[in-house]
Amino acid sequence: MNGGNEKMNEDAIKDIRERIVKVGKELYEHGLVTGPTGNISARIPGTDTAIIKPSGVSMGLLKPEELVLVDLQGNKIRGELSLSVETPMHTAIYRARSDVQAVVHTHAPVATAFGIAGVEILPLQIEMFMFIPKGVPIIPFEFPGSKELAEAVQKKIVDFDAVILENHGVVTVGSSIEEACDLNKLIEECAEVQYMATVLAGKDVINWENLKKKFKI
């Protein structure tokens, strides 16, 4: 980087840092992450680099200067703190989808419970077809930070904007930091609605066949 490009990139980095911190606090306040759990990252537009939350820092207390700059192979470029263990998963997503500008991973409690129970989240409200037209698939358990997890997410995220990691939370992507955050919150809302509907009507009523008939799809 040099000259005007350097300033442009530094301005972009500053903007992304501030937006990540804002969204991180929003996720924390919504109860989708607690303590130092979860992670969030954003691609620097027009580059093969991204900014990611470091390990061991709460999203509720995150500061812009604490965020770490990495390349899309997961190598640290800039930053004092340790990389998130999930950096390989984030960078694998960016390598798989050039349209993705941000990745959010939370431990949204109800949606996470669906993953543990092996129950797929469906778009039960017709408006949800705009966001999760094919539902939210569950990725079988792999250890956090492992190559196997990164590869499994990379393969599935090609066709979905949201996935549940079995025993490990929810991953959403978007064309902006805010969009990825909003989708994560939406998945938790969908999970809450589906849980309540299942309690009221029974699990046999909640299925793709009934949805397709009702919504004529």
Question: Is residue 155's pLDDT more than 60?
Answer: yes
| pLDDT (0 to 100) of residue 65 | 96
Amino acid 7: pLDDT: 56
Q: How confident is the model at residue 167 (pLDDT cuts 50, 70, 90)?
A: very high
| 57-71, 91-105, 120-134, 203-217: least confidently modelled range | 203-217
The pLDDT value recorded for residue 3 is 40
Distances (CA, A) of 195 to 43, 102, 113, 146, 199: 34, 28, 10, 31, 6
pTM: 0.93
The pLDDT value given to residue 198: 95
Catalytic residue positions?
86
The residue ranges of every structural domain in the chain are: 3-215
Residue type, 172: T
Angle at Cα 96 formed by Cα 93 and Cα 100, nearest 5°? Answer: 60
- Torsion sign, CA atoms 37, 43, 44, 45: negative
Fold assignment, 3-215: L-fuculose-1-phosphate Aldolase (3.40.225)
